[in-house]
């Protein structure tokens, strides 16, 4: 009889342990203000990402919205500070990167790139032509001066990376960065080099277990 009572108590305890819950975190750099030059929207990057991106073109634009030909925009995100529990980014959730951009008038936009990394150089990149083509379902496959778009890429389902023309090169045909970003907790974003950037955002949905109760506190609860 005592065994049955104990089993019933254990069942109650197991039912009381919280199940994993989904958490959504958002990191945003720059403000979605339609490229307004008002205010200062600074970007920041780790030294390693800065070094990588500095090999792509003439110089860096350290603020969003400002449009300077032959300059890149770069940003390093740390997913732990986006609110992911304990910095754990290895869950089964997805990481989505949103980029609001506009091709500069009178510039060479067709060789502009979106580049991603995970703390130790570039790991993936495609031209904005490719993203424009996907966004328009093939209707427009050229990223042109004056084009404005909000591109969204999912790190577990990326368009295959193209050949890299830069010294800080990435491998071809990469279609996922979820594991790499999960391992490092860092997501680096770069955009070259005749394209204005309004803002960047990273949304992170993860199955993050809620903090379990200790066995000691359970014994107190069910004593
Ligand atoms: Ca260019
Ligand atoms: Ca902005």
* pLDDT tens column, 168-200: 999 999 999 988 988 888 999 999 999 999 999
User: Any idea which of 8-17, 29-38, 119-128 has the lowest mean pLDDT?
Assistant: 8-17
Q: What confidence category does residue 144 fall into, taking pLDDT thresholds of 50, 70 and 90? A: very high
> How far apart are the C-alpha atoms of 39 and 142, rounded to whole Å?
31
Q: What percent of the chain has pLDDT over 90?
A: 66
Judge whether 223 lies within some domain. Answer: no
* Cβ density class 175-192: b for 16+ within 10 Å, e for less: eebbebbbebbbbbbbbb
Q: How far is CA 190 from the centre of its chain?
A: 11
pLDDT for the residue numbered 94? 78
Q: Quote the ligand 2 centre to 40 CA distance (angstroms).
A: 9
pLDDT for the residue numbered 218? 35
> How far apart are the C-alpha atoms of 132 and 118, rounded to whole Å?
24
Q: What percent of the chain has pLDDT over 70?
A: 76
For residue 69, the ligand closest to its alpha carbon is 1
User: What residue numbers bound the domain in which 110 lies?
Assistant: 20-210
Judge whether 5 lies within some domain. Answer: no
Judge whether 216 lies within some domain. Answer: no
SS3 77: strand
Residue-wise pLDDT for 42-89, tens only, equals 999 999 999 999 999 999 999 999 899 999 999 999 987 775 434 444
Judge whether 121 lies within some domain. Answer: yes
Residue-wise pLDDT for 98-122, tens only, equals 999 999 999 999 999 999 999 999 9
Judge whether 196 lies within some domain. Answer: yes
Helix residue ranges, H only, the chain: 2-16, 47-54, 128-135, 178-184, 215-221
For residue 37, the ligand closest to its alpha carbon is 2
Q: Quote the ligand 2 centre to 127 CA distance (angstroms).
A: 22
Helix (H) / strand (E) containing 186 = strand 186-191
pLDDT for the residue numbered 4? 54
CB atoms within 10 A of CB 12: 12
Judge whether 106 lies within some domain. Answer: yes
User: In this model, does residue 165 exceed pLDDT 60?
Assistant: yes
Helix residue ranges, H only, 27-127: 47-54
Q: Quote the ligand 2 centre to 210 CA distance (angstroms).
A: 35
Instruction: Count how many domains the chain has.
Output: 1
CA distances for 164 relative to 57, 109, 126, 158, angstroms: 13, 16, 8, 16
pLDDT for the residue numbered 209? 32
Judge whether 159 lies within some domain. Answer: yes
Q: What pTM was estimated for this model as a whole?
A: 0.80
Q: What is the mean pLDDT of residues 148-154?
A: 96
Q: Quote the ligand 1 centre to 113 CA distance (angstroms).
A: 8
For residue 32, the ligand closest to its alpha carbon is 2
Judge whether 15 lies within some domain. Answer: no
CB atoms within 10 A of CB 81: 11
pLDDT for the residue numbered 84? 43
């Amino acid at each position: 009889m005592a065994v049955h009572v104990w089993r019933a108590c254990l069942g109650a305890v197991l039912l009381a342990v919280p199940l994993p819950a989904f958490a959504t975190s958002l990191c945003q750099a720059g403000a979605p203000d339609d490229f307004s030059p008002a205010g200062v929207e600074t970007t920041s990057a780790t030294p390693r990402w800065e070094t990588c991106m500095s090999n792509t073109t003439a110089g860096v634009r350290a603020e969003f919205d400002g449009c300077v030909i032959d300059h890149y925009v770069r940003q390093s995100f740390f997913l732990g500070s986006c609110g992911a529990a304990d910095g754990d980014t290895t869950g089964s959730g997805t990481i989505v990167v949103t980029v609001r951009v506009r091709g500069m008038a009178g510039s060479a936009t067709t060789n502009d790139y979106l580049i991603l990394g995970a703390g130790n150089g570039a790991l993936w990149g495609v031209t904005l032509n490719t993203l424009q083509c996907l966004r328009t379902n093939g209707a427009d496959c050229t990223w042109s001066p004056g084009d404005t778009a909000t591109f969204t890429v999912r790190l577990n389902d990326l368009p295959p990376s193209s050949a890299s023309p830069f010294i800080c090169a990435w491998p071809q045909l990469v279609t996922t960065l979820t594991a790499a970003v999960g391992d490092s907790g860092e997501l680096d974003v770069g955009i070259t080099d005749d394209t204005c950037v309004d803002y960047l955002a990273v949304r992170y949905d993860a199955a993050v277990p809620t903090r379990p109760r200790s066995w000691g506190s359970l014994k107190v609860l069910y004593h």
